Amino acid sequence: MSRWLVAGAGGMLGRDLVEVLGGTPGLTVTGLPRAGLDVTDAAAAEAAVAGHDVVVNAAAWTDVDGAESAEAAATRVNGDGARHLAAACARHGAVLLQVSTDYVFAGDAAHPYPEDAPTAPLNAYGRSKLAGELAVAELLPERGFVVRTAWLYGAHGRNFVTTMLGLARQRETLDVVDDQVGQPTWSRALAVRLAGLGEAALDGRAPAGVYHATAAGQVSWCGLARAAFALSGLDPDRVRPTTSRQFPRPAPRPSYSVLGHAGWARAGMAPMGDWHAELAAALPVLPAATATPPA
């Protein structure tokens, strides 16, 4: 019987993780939301990790724009928090799955980023997450797993897909950027993948290092919105393409957030499924899936 700890269990991914792990035979799960575990507190991290075999760090500062004016605060969560958990895992002999992001890359590539591609974050959020990656690599070279993901959506938190379907009730048309490309990833599918990776790590089948856990394929934000509309029975032509210049944000966004998945072969695992198929499977459980056209 393996014992798992999920830090950040109150978030979109964290809630899916607790549900997936809780239904997996042969393991027990402790889910701690922010109120139950402040990862910026080293002593709290130490106490929480004790007695667990696998720790999944889904706790994060996720306000990308807010990080631009509060980088130190974001780094305390995303960088120091990961360091505290990694140090505790090193002392207690636990495996750590550190959830990271495509934002550690510059986003100017023409081909999918391999796991060992040079990092060059564009913004404060990316730098804070990279600090967490480096801490895990330093402190847990044999039991640390950095799992980069991107463009998450799911049933338990605010995200692009549910926002678009919610706006469908309010507006006849939506202008959505078409010059940023990535891989929409269902948080529950990611939770299943993390569960499998943790089990493979405990069995000695998965070597430590970096893994890219995003759905296969690629699409723009506009294309994703159109697909969500079409799969929900709405007219996709209500979504109109525009450019990032029309929606300036405090934090610059990478224009190309497509990750390569060759690393899964090291663990004897296939990459995750196609983004469109995942979206179709996810829509029935998303809170805005019943969106209807405005009168």
For the annotated catalytic residues, the residue numbers are 125
Cβ–Cβ < 8 Å for 225, 163: no
Q: Which of 139, 25, 156 is nearest to 92 (CA)?
A: 139
DSSP code string of 51-86 = T-SEEEE------HHHHHH-HHHHHIIIIIHHHHHH
DSSP code, position 251: S
Token couple for 39: 């990862």
DSSP code, position 78: I
CA distance 89 to 48: 10
Q: Mapping DSSP to helix (H, G, I), strand (E, B) and coil, where does residue 129 land? A: helix
Q: Mapping DSSP to helix (H, G, I), strand (E, B) and coil, where does residue 212 land? A: strand
Pseudo-torsion of CA 107, 197, 40, 45, nearest 10°?
Answer: -170
CA distance 12 to 19: 11
CA distance 225 to 38: 35
DSSP code, position 259: B
Q: Which of 152, 104, 146 is nearest to 124 (CA)?
A: 104
281: left (phi over 0), alpha (psi -120 to 50) or beta: alpha
Q: Mapping DSSP to helix (H, G, I), strand (E, B) and coil, where does residue 65 land? A: helix
CA distance 178 to 181: 8
